[in-house]
Structure 1
Amino acid sequence: MKFTLLASAALALAPLSASAAPAAASPVGTWEVALSGADQGTAYVTFEDDNDFTGYGLSRGSLGLFTLSGTWTLNEAGQLVGNYTETINGDEVDGTLTAKLTPKSITGSIAATNGKFTFKAKREGVTQDLTGPWTGTASLAKQQFAELYQITPSALPHVYLIEGTGFSPFTGEYEILGTVLAGAKGKVELVAFSEAASGSPGFASLRGTVNVNRKQNVLKGTHSSGAPIKIAIRR
């Protein structure tokens, strides 16, 4: 009789124990990724339920948007692991990733042919609309340059295109072309090329935070000359 009662109790509890097991977290969806290590930048990566993933982003080492694609899976420990190929500055690099996954975050490391990286990701959120005319003052090598920009949305979410002009006391008017990637909490990554009728082309990679309603926003980075550059902008 005692055995029968114990067996019945075990059978009654078995479904309850099974249903209480937590479901494994899934990376499926789009994530905003903050990249650090051999390079720094921001990317948006989308994991599909067929175990493929794709993404794009901007970094200090990229001369424009980089793109990537790969495959992912969850290992026996519940870690997110994957392999990918990235196209950056016209070159292809391969990498592998290993990460801890929760429903709201991904944190991990990357080993790639262009270096070692760490990253933190959170679910994609709403970003500011940067569309419209902007004015700016660029500071480079103790000189200041007045600039005007027109920012328009691209076909990719969170990505904007820049067209503008500036004026240098040395080379006169110059053209500006660039790309902006908007992140959460006003974070932006920006790369821009400038070229005057006379003089050599210039390139700048900048980052910072922007509030479209703020009177002045400051982005800082590095110019192709190797000198630090700062741009104060407003819409």
Structure 2
Amino acid sequence: MKAGQLNLHGLRRHLRLAAACGSAALLLSGLPGVSQAQNSPVGTWDFVMSGARQGVAYLTFASDGSVSGGEIVVPSPSGGYTGRNVGGDIGRNNNTTTLATTNLYGYCPVSGPWGFDSRGRVIGFYQEIVMMSETPPTFFTNGVSFIGPAVPGRRMTLMAQSPMGPVTMHGIPAVTLPDISGSWYGIKRQGKVSAVEFFTLSPVGDLPNTYEVVGTGPGYSYPNGTAMLSSQNKFAMGFDEVISTNYDSTRSVVGPFIRRTLSATMTGIDSPPGGASLTNLVNFRVTRRTSVP
């Protein structure tokens, strides 16, 4: 497993290990002299991203000053940023792996603290955690800071600063959308090469409108990916492709979702992590299957 996709089966365990973020949350939520009644973001929000990165995120702002959730990150090709590695695995042991240039993309669980500034705006940060390898377990982390106004029950617009550059996060309260689980097919186009793929979506209970992806293409498979559907008509997918049992590439794509036809045309990248990954662009058109042999 490479930097760009986190194994879903380890997600819950990794989030629990972010104890430092919980301490910071208590500090931020206890700031004196700030009224929290008029613009509280408490609840789960559905975000779409634009700017240096695109994608979909579901973030829960808790009353204890913590924020947690998940996101699928798709770097914008024009961003030109190659990322930064801020240090090894969560345990900070001697198995740390250093990458000179790594683009963070794919699915990431996130956690951190939030609070208010003197103007009543929501402020905070969260850590993105991505598994770089399973043996030994090593991880890649990035930090994202954010600030912006919240209108309870209506909208929240956060200006975020990521290692890839500035990002605007447009949020609305999360709602449960119609279930889109089942059998799908996709047509991947990269360069002059096209490939037909089949995959299934299965609901993931911890996050709204989030699905586990298991699929196969000619000569490769993706056994443990993630898809996220936003009520803002965006669909995103992130997964690792493997050949036999060996990692080959990470794909991260996002695009408009058409509810009437249960289809989406997404763009993004399909590449191993590294300095050239932002140039490995891909188009992925997906449609839910109406019949299965």
* Shorter-chain TM-score range: 0.7 to 0.9
The answer for the alignment partner of 2:72 in structure 1 is 58
Q: Which runs of 5+ in 1 are unaligned?
A: 1-22, 168-172
CA distance in 2, matches of 1:50, 1:137: 44
- The two structures have a TM-score, normalised by structure 1, of 0.76
CA distance in 2, matches of 1:43, 1:218: 18
The answer for the alignment partner of 1:3 in structure 2 is none
1:76 to 118, 133, 136: 118
The answer for the alignment partner of 1:110 in structure 2 is 160
The answer for the alignment partner of 2:251 in structure 1 is 204
Alignment of 1:12-161 (within 5 A): 24-61=38-75, 62-88=104-130, 90-103=139-152, 104-112=154-162, 115-157=165-207, 158-161=209-212
Give the structure, 1 or 2, with the largest relative contact order (CA under 8 Å, sep 6 or more). 2
The answer for the alignment partner of 1:4 in structure 2 is none
The answer for the alignment partner of 1:228 in structure 2 is 281
Q: 2:48·2:234 contact (CA, 8 Å) conserved in 1? A: no
CA distance in 2, matches of 1:196, 1:96: 37
Identity value in percent: 25
What's the offset of the Cα at 1:57?
Answer: 0.8
What's the offset of the Cα at 1:114?
Answer: 5.5
Structure 1 runs (4+) deviating above 6 angstroms are: none
Answer with 1 or 2: which has the greater Rg: 1
The answer for the alignment partner of 2:216 in structure 1 is 165
- Single out whichever of 82-91 and 201-210 deviates more from structure 2: 82-91
What's the offset of the Cα at 1:198?
Answer: 11
What's the offset of the Cα at 1:29?
Answer: 0.6
CA distance in 1, matches of 2:66, 2:143: 15
Q: Which runs of 5+ in 2 are unaligned?
A: 1-36, 76-103, 132-138, 272-276, 289-293
CA distance in 1, matches of 2:150, 2:58: 16
Structure number with higher strand proportion: 1
Relative distance call for 1:233 and 1:222 in structure 2 (3 A) is same
Report the aligned-residue RMSD.
2.7
